[in-house]
DNA sequence: GATGAATGAGCGTTCATTCAT
DNA sequence: GATGAATGAACGCTCATTCAT
């Protein structure tokens, strides 16, 4: 499909240059089509950007939803989710950047798309937290913890880009340990292991 | 100093409008000087922005360094660091926005400044982790965990911008609990408390 | 004929939107054909517009020629001509607008078509004037007076577009009185009446 | 004044090409300045056009107001007005075109400027007509006759451009004869003469 | 014969940047 | 040292015009 090829180019350019610095000229160049075609297929620059965000958000959420194992214990669920997340980021650097970085700086229409995705992600984590009988987490608490988790994931993913020798699983396990065990346990030498090794 | 007054204006305008939407005209207006002076003192728009980032990053690192209590137990050190961080963000919204939100979306020259700051923060936390006798963390492990923590802090701070009704202490405590106790303890109802209440 | 249907659409669109705002897309849409066909039949946008002007000018001149009664006294001839003119304008707003309003504002190629029509109209009136035995009008005099009369008619017709509540006959009679009796008689209360009431 | 020189260029270009076909590039070229200066001095294209119309309308009305002799008989007043009008048009072809032709085709903001001027012109003529005791002209009648007169003047002025050998006074006298004496008198050989020759 | 799909060229507008004073 | 005035270079967007089918 033609739209697909254009959006790929747009995600590439947006993630490299940011919304404002990206020019429709460059996007159409990268896509290998003329500017009028770009407008015919995807509308204005803002519409194009919003569409990019929506598409990438959906792709990532689907990757995570596919990877997660909903019938397992909470820790296993979180573990599978993180693994899926790092797997996706590892293979879709541009997607992730356009999705999160860029979208959060441009106000207005884009905030909606991002809020949508964050809400879905937060719901997932919040569900995990409130599943457990003993954790009477408020909505605000769950939300903020989810935000922290997402940020930790993002930051770690970025760090990972500078240390590509580490496999995705190791990086994911490291974050899993941080958020599940906490530094408190870690400094005591207690670590969390995937279920197969328990 | 003349530079000081110009930079204050720049941080104000950049944080309100973002890098691209901010115009040198407006910055010079707010600074109360003419545009040629602006260029004479701070160079190009990009240089000015990079300088802003550098200055604000330094201010923040200093605030944290001042707040942290280096002779205490690791958890107290972390806690005091987090409190200082969220305290700074709460009182310097403009600094923080220009620093983080804007810088992270503009490609190229600015990433360097941001990476610098993140590296310094990561080093601090990594030192904390390796201080502890029982944690045989490799340098790589410590660094990645620190990266995750810093990211969680950044992300939570950003979330906080949209929920200003929460007091700084509450937000900091929430992150402290997450990273010290871990979800594993949290779902069991175990929480971390500041030293005065132990 | 295919051309006929296209030109009808063109006159409609041109008169509604003006030359520049009218797009070949809209004209082909209204005509119910594809754009390549539009170009095949009528050439460029400028050619199409010129053709519209020519067609509508011809239609109008024919309407007037049909309405005029050449064997009557000069005043009756003039009267019947004016009546025919205002009758045509009243029933062909679109024609008239595209013809006059639009054509007169676009420079260059279109002026020719308009000048042609005006020349033909002026010739008719000039002939009327020189018919009369007692008027030793030079060719130049007759032509200039005719030009003035035609302009008065055009302008009054345009004024009429903004005051559609007036019947065609009243407007025509008003111009007839002006050009036949003159202000000199009008301010004395002398008016001209159509022959049936003499 | 810099504005003056820009407006002269704008009137020139607008009158040659029409509102839409005129480009800001060409106007700035003709004015001998850069496009940003054009925008700095006169605002957007629409504002520039409106300003042109306003200026030219004012110039013309002043020329006529200066030429007219308000304490004379109605016919002398009209005569002096017509003479002033043709004098102005003879020396300001571009002004007149941008003023009348162009303004009447563009809707919206420009109509206001034009309506203003037409209202002032119509008032003058209507005052002439209603001055005379015997002419109980309604407002509508006066307005329409004034429109016709204006159109006749315009058309004759245009005809004049193709016959530049005729002096302004002769052309003005011809229109004076038409509108004061009417064809009825003219075909009988009765003509109107300026007061000095009566 | 007819068209869907494509584009070259241009427009109005803005802004970082720099002379002339 | 300081500035008002000026501009080169883009940018988002549109449209008359034409291939490939």
Measured CA to CA in angstroms, residue C162 lies from C159, D140, D147 at distances of 6, 12, 12
Among the partner residues C74, C151, C181, nearest to D155 by beta-carbon distance: C151
Would you state the pLDDT for residue A131? 62
Question: Is the pLDDT score of B196 beyond 80?
Answer: no
pLDDT confidence tier of residue C135, bands split at 50, 70 and 90:
low
E15 C1' to C171 CA distance, Å: 55
Using a 7 Å cut-off to protein CB atoms, list the covered nucleotides of chain F: 2-20
DSSP symbol at A44: S
Separation in Å, CA B56 to CA A148, B49, B152, C10, D145: 22, 11, 20, 63, 74
A142 band by pLDDT with thresholds 50, 70 and 90: confident
pLDDT beyond 90 at B2: no
Q: What are D114-173's pLDDT values in tens digits? A: 777 777 777 777 777 666 545 556 777 777 888 888 888 888 887 887 787 888 888 888
Chain D hits for C154, CB-CB cut-off 8 Å, are 151, 155
C67 half-sphere exposure, CB direction, 13 A CA radius: 19
**CB contact (8 A) between residue C178 and residue D181:** no
Cβ–Cβ below 8 Å for D174 and C129: no
For the domain made up of C53-197, give the CATH fold. Answer: Tetracycline Repressor; domain 2 (1.10.357)
Query: What share of chain A has pLDDT > 70, as a percent?
Result: 83
Report the C-alpha gap between C83 and C80 in whole angstroms.
Answer: 5
Mean pLDDT across A132-159: 74
B165 class by beta-carbon count within 10 Å (0-12 exposed, 13-18 middle, 19+ buried): exposed
Q: State which residue has its Cα closest to the C1' atom of F11.
A: A23
For D11-37, what is each residue's pLDDT tens digit?
999 888 888 889 999 999 999 899 999
Residue nearest to nucleotide E5 (CA to C1'): A37
Condensed to tens digits (0 to 9), the pLDDT of residues C115-132 reads: 788 788 888 888 777 766
| Rounded-to-integer distance, Cα B41 and Cα B48, Å | 9
Residue C124 has a CB neighbour count (10 Å cut-off) of 18
Are A and B close enough to touch, i.e. 3+ CB pairs under 8 angstroms? Answer: yes
| Percent of chain D topping pLDDT 90 | 14
Greater pLDDT, D143 or D84: D84
Q: Is the pLDDT of residue A86 over 90?
A: no
DSSP per position, D83-147: HHHHHHHHH-HHHHIIIIIIHHHS-THHHHHHHHHHHHHHHHHHHHHHHSTT----HHHHHHHHH
Q: Which nucleotide is nearest to D35 (CA to C1')?
A: F7
Mean pLDDT along residues B30-56: 90
Question: Which pLDDT score, from 0 to 100, does residue D198 have?
Answer: 43
Q: Give residue limits of the domains in chain B.
A: 52-197
Q: Which residues of B touch A164 (CB under 8 A)?
A: none
Task: Work out the pLDDT band at A107, boundaries 50, 70, 90.
Answer: low
Name which of B132, B147, B187 is nearest A134 (Cβ-Cβ): B187
Chain D: residue nearest C76 by CA?
D184
* Mutation choice for D interface testing from C148, C159, C180, C186 by most D CBs within 10 A: C148
- Give, as ranges, the nucleotides of chain E with any atom within 7 Å of a protein CB: 2-20
- Percent of chain D whose predicted confidence (pLDDT) is above 70: 84
User: How many contacts does C have with D, using Cβ atoms within 8 A?
Assistant: 170
Chain D residue numbers touching C159 (CB-CB < 8 A): 143-144, 147-148
Round and report the angstrom distance from CA (A157) to C1' (F10): 35
∠D109-C158-C64 over CA atoms, to 5°? 155
Whether D and C touch, i.e. at least 3 CB pairs below 8 A, reads as yes
CA distance B142 to chain A (A): 10
Strand E contact set, beta carbon < 7 A:
A 2, 33-37, 40; B 21-25, 35-36, 39, 44-46; C 33-37, 40; D 22-26, 35-36, 39, 44-46
CATH architecture for residues B52-197: Orthogonal Bundle (1.10)
């Amino acid at each position: 499909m033609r739209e697909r090829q254009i959006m790929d180019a747009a995600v590439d350019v947006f993630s490299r240059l940011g919304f404002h610095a990206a020019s429709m000229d460059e996007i159409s160049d990268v896509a290998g089509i003329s500017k009028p075609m770009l407008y015919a297929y995807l509308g204005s620059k803002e519409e194009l950007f919003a569409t990019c965000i929506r598409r990438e958000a959906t792709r990532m959420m689907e990757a995570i939803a596919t990877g997660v194992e909903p019938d397992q214990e909470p820790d296993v669920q979180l573990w599978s989710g993180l693994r899926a997340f790092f797997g996706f980021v590892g293979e879709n650097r541009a997607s992730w950047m356009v999705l999160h970085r860029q979208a959060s700086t441009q106000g207005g229409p884009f905030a909606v798309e991002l809020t949508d995705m964050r809400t879905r992600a937060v719901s997932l984590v919040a569900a995990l937290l409130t599943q457990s009988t003993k954790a009477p987490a408020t909505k605000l608490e769950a939300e903020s913890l989810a935000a922290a988790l997402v940020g930790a994931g993002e930051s770690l993913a970025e760090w990972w880009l500078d240390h590509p020798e580490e496999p995705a699983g190791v990086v994911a396990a490291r974050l899993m340990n941080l958020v599940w065990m906490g530094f408190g346990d870690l400094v005591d030498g207690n670590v969390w292991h995937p279920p197969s090794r328990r």
